[in-house]
Amino acid sequence: MEEAGRMLSSCALCPRACKANRANGEVGFCKMTDDLYLARAALHMWEEPCITGETGSGAIFFTGCNLGCVFCQNYDLSHRQLGKKVSRKRLLEIFYELKEQGACNINLVTSDVYVPIVAEVIKQAKDQGFDLPFVFNTSSYLQVESVKLLDGLIDIYLPDFKFYTEKKSIEYLKAPGYPAAARACISEMVSQLKRRYGKVCDLDEKGQMKHGVIVRHLLMPGGLLEAKMIVKDLYQSYKDQVYFSLLNQYTPLTEHLKDYPKLRERVREREYQELVDYACHLGISKGYMQEGEAISESFIPAFDFRGV
Ligand code: SF4
């Protein structure tokens, strides 16, 4: 764990570059030291079909977040440190337990503030011959150097691209530099997989993703223009090399939104349909959309330390 210790002793994993000595118990914006905290490790059936597969994705939910989203759906997890402390050894055991339960991959959900640690544990697993694909499910507010630590270790990247403009990123995510960071992270992810496999995405005969990049965008109330800009920008850069996942499950949790009246609204079905039509019109053929009503809060799993 030497490399992880070095990187966390003056933390600059994300653009906030707090320089906190997390290895020594200090904390930065994300409020996490170098101790690992998890809230849940269980089969998860609500990812994109090529990630969920037939048996479910082995999703491990990490505690702590480096964003400050005013519309956060998992506030206890991201900012109130809800989680159970686990050792690196225990994380490795969890990989095997999820495989035993039938997981078709190991899905690291918002492990962004632990990148050097998870990189070392994944490496250990791979050295032992652990053969499930690893999924890195990220908000994309990382330095490129952090994503480089995952080169050769992560098979499937699931990056969010939340806002296109600096103005909205600061207002709603409290994250200066978010759009540039997200763009640079996605570019690094695409390059890694292209170098390693010759092409970015590949699915097996059952339609499960073996490796690839799926960019997620959650349509926000009043966010149609931003969403179109994101889709257009990424499609111009990568064409069909990456998958798009356009989400309409925004659920306003109004207790934190009194100063953000627009975000207290729901996304209208016709706006979402306009985004999907726009993506199709651009020529996007690889991707996912959601059908029907916005997904309810029940799709947010219980963070009850199951499997931890
Ligand atoms: S991960 Fe980001 S927010 Fe957390 S301490 Fe490091 S630089 Fe700061």
Instruction: Calculate the average pLDDT of the chain.
Output: 93
Q: Is the pLDDT of residue 176 over 60?
A: yes
pLDDT on residue 297: 44
Q: Is the pLDDT of residue 78 over 90?
A: no
> Are 32 and 63 a contacting pair, CB within 8 Å?
yes
Domain count, the chain: 1
pLDDT on residue 1: 55
**Integer Cα distance of 140 and 121 in angstroms:** 21
Q: Which residue has the higher pLDDT, 87 or 1?
A: 87
pLDDT on residue 296: 44
Which residues have C-beta atoms less than 6 Å from ligand 1?
A: 11-14, 16-18, 20, 28-30, 66, 113
Q: Is the pLDDT of residue 295 over 60?
A: no
What residue numbers bound the domain in which 248 lies?
36-299
Residue of 6, 9, 10, 18 with the most ligand 1 atoms within 8 Å of its CB, for mutation: 18
DSSP secondary structure letters along 106-172:
EEEET-GGGHHHHHHHHHHHHHTT--SPEEEEE-S-S-HHHHHTTTTT-SEEEEB---SSHHHIIII
Q: Is the pLDDT of residue 192 over 50?
A: yes
Residue 24 domain-assigned (yes or no): no
Residue 11 domain-assigned (yes or no): no
High-pLDDT (> 90) share of the chain, %: 85
pLDDT on residue 253: 79
Residue 2 domain-assigned (yes or no): no
Residue 18 domain-assigned (yes or no): no
Residue minimizing CA distance to atom 4 of ligand 1: 30
Question: Residues 121-172: pLDDT tens digits?
Answer: 999 999 999 999 999 999 999 999 999 999 999 999 999 999 999 999 999 9
pLDDT on residue 77: 80
Could you identify the atom of ligand 1 that is nearest to the CA of residue 141?
2
Say what the alpha-carbon torsion angle 62, 66, 71, 76 is, to the nearest 10 degrees: 40
Residue 19 domain-assigned (yes or no): no
pTM here is 0.95
* CA of 262 relative to ligand 1 center, distance in Å: 29
Residue 21 domain-assigned (yes or no): no
Domain of 79: which CATH number? 3.20.20.70
Residue 1 domain-assigned (yes or no): no
**pLDDT tier for residue 107 given thresholds of 50, 70 and 90:** very high
Residue of 30, 79, 111, 174 with the most ligand 1 atoms within 8 Å of its CB, for mutation: 30
